[in-house]
Amino acid sequence: MNPYEILGIEENASEDEIKEKYQTLAEEYTLNQDETTQEKLEEINRAYDLLMNSKNIYAEIRKLIEIKNFPLAESKLNMINERDNAEWNYLEGFICVQKGWFETGLNYIKKALELDPGNTEYISSMNTLQSRIIEYATKYANQGVRPAAANNMNACGGGGGNNGGMC
């Protein structure tokens, strides 16, 4: 069930637009009663409830991010089954960046922008993140840091596996 299709609205519709469209449809189906009216009313009620609840959960996740409770924000985000939603991708990208996973975060934010290309918040975040990535790359290039394949440092403690590393 795609609640946006059922209500006939865009995926980036505001809360007010959702409410307005829901009220219009509810009035329309209440006035035009036939054998399918009850089913259609139940369908638009489910779609409306789903959209309003997801809007509320995204606001809650944003508040958790604001207070830097990233583990709980990520946990709540992962309970939402809307991977093709712009807001979901944006928040997932933001959390990934906070974990230091810049490339993954950038990919999620790019996906959010593909889904909602006019969103100025997403555009601003994308531009900021891209400029920071360039800064980091330039900094490391100027310091002569060698790529991981050329040095002997890795997550396994530096080599052969018998030196107390995790591998």
Please write the tens of the pLDDT for every residue from 15-65.
888 889 889 988 887 777 777 778 888 888 888 888 787 778 888 999 999
Structural domains of the chain, count: 2
Residues 64 and 105 grouped into a single domain: no
Instruction: Name the pLDDT band for 125 (thresholds 50, 70, 90).
Output: very high
User: Domain for residue 161, yes or no?
Assistant: no
Average predicted confidence (pLDDT) for the chain: 81
CA distance 124 to 107: 15
The residue out of 35, 68, 101 marking a domain boundary is: 68
Q: Which of 78-82, 84-88, 140-144 has the highest mean pLDDT?
A: 84-88
Between residues 107 and 45, which one has the greater pLDDT?
Answer: 107
The burial class, CB within 10 Å (0-12 / 13-18 / 19+), for 2 is exposed
Q: Are residues 4 and 59 in the same domain?
A: yes
Judgement on whether residues 58 and 91 belong to the same structural domain of the protein: no
Q: Is residue 149 part of a domain?
A: no
Cβ neighbors of 6 (< 8 A, separation 6 or more) are: 43, 44, 46, 47
**Minimal CA–CA distance to 97: which of 127, 129, 69, 68?**
129
User: Which residue range(s) make up the domain with 94?
Assistant: 83-143
The predicted model scores a pTM of 0.59
Q: How far is residue 122's CA from residue 54's CA, in Å, rounded to a whole number?
A: 19
Structure tokens at 87: 């807001």
Q: What is the CATH number of the domain that holds 111?
A: 1.25.40.10
Within-domain flag for 157: no
Q: What is the pLDDT of residue 127?
A: 92
Residue 152 has pLDDT above 50, yes or no: no
Residue at 156 is within a domain: no
Q: What percent of the chain has pLDDT over 90?
A: 31
Q: Residues 90, 133: one domain? A: yes
